[in-house]
Each structure stands twice: as structure tokens, then as C-alpha cells.
Amino acid sequence: MINTRTTLNIVRIGSDITYSSLKTIGEKIVSAFNGIIAGYELAHHETPVVESIDAQLLTMILQQDIGGHTLGITDADLKTCDEDEFYQTIFGGKNPKNDVAVVSTRKLTPRHISTDKEYELFLDRTLKVSLHEVGHNLGLTDHAAYRTAPDGTLCPMSRGEFNKFGTTGYVRAIIDGRGLTFCDECTHFMQQVYGIRFKTRKYINGYWIDLEKQNRG
């Protein structure tokens, strides 16, 4: 778990996602953690083109080659050694022995990406899974229940019941239902652990407004 404000390394592995999209993800992750993450840096990792890769192995490669607080985003399936066949491929995961998390876009892609709206959906899903995995890097844990944030969306750490929905249903019910704002429990944890007081905010017309900046302006 990260102990101080740090830069997040966002590493593209493969070619499904553009650098401008990675910048969008980085900016929204930094904003969501509201001062805990100092900023982000982008990198590309050259690996052989593969359909799937062991998730733990990938985190170890990134730890060796990149190090630090790292989020890897790959277009390959992430494999695990889980005995349950249903959990042998995952959307994302974090290695408990380091501060490296990985996300797979393989099951987040709509059936076709031929319009801006479809690409935005793909990007939004990638962001939400990334936010969940970075939360694990910072010590947050899964919510098995469907815990909501103050804006009414699911907390980014909501995991729900994967088997209940199946893969496609899970993406639509849980990942699409997550927002970018954490529930009170997660916010309290981060305030206690990192000693950073989240700015006072108000949710207006679909946006969080920083009232401190608004009042100064």
C-alpha cells in the first residue's frame, strides 16, 4: 500500500487504447483521489503480442521494468490460477506483494467500436476498472454489497456478485453502474490513512463542484 503522495505510472501494454485516452484516464484518477495521488506519467511497454497473460506474472514484469505505483492496461486477457473456471480470467487485479495493478480491456470493449459513443463507453469502462484497481494499491478493499456514493452511483470499490450476472451482465450492472466518487467508508479510510482532507464538494448537474475554489474565485 502506498504511504505517501506519489506519481502513478500508467503503462500501455498493447495498442487498443490511445495515449490521449490514457491521459484522460490519468487525469480522472488523480481527480477522483483528490490530492492523494500527486500526478501521473505515461509509458508504453513492449511485449510480444499475446491473446492472454498470467496476471501475476504481468505485475512482476512491470514491477521489475517500471517499479513504483503502477497501473498496467493491456488488451490481452488476464489469466489466474483460480480453480473455478469462471474466475480464470479477470477484468483487473493487484499484486499484494507490490504496488502494481493491471487491467484488461478485452471484456470491456463493446461488440463494435465504430462510433465516438461506443469508444467513450469503452474508455469509461476502462477508467472505472482502473480506478478500482488503483484503489486497491491505496489499501481500499472490495465492497461485496452494492454500496453507493453520495451522488447515487456505485462506489468504485463495489464488486457485487460476479457469478450472479455472468461476464456481460456484470459489466453492465456493476462496472457501468460505478461512478468516480467514493462512498463515505472509503473516503473516511483515505482521510485517516493519508491525512488528506477531501475538499468540500457539491454535486450539481452531474458534476462535482469544488466549493473552496468556487468561493475563492
Q: What's the predicted TM-score (pTM) here?
A: 0.87
Classify residue 2: in a domain, yes or no.
no
Going from the C-alpha of 4 to that of each of 62, 114, 155, the distances in angstroms are 20, 41, 23
φ/ψ (deg, to 5) at 164: -65, -30
pLDDT digits (tens, 9 = 90+) for 157-204: 999 877 677 888 899 999 999 999 999 999 999 989 987 665 545 555
Classify residue 22: in a domain, yes or no.
yes
Strands 77-79 and 70-74: unpaired
Look at residue 87 and tell me whether its pLDDT is greater than 80: no
Average pLDDT, stretch 20-35?
94
State the pLDDT confidence band at 215, using cuts at 50, 70 and 90.
very low
Classify residue 162: in a domain, yes or no.
yes
Question: Could you tell me the CATH number of the domain that includes residue 59?
Answer: 3.40.390.10
Classify residue 1: in a domain, yes or no.
no
DSSP H or E run through 53: strand 52-54
Q: Is 72 left (phi over 0), alpha (psi -120 to 50) or beta?
A: beta
Domain span at 181: 7-216
Number of domains, the chain? 1
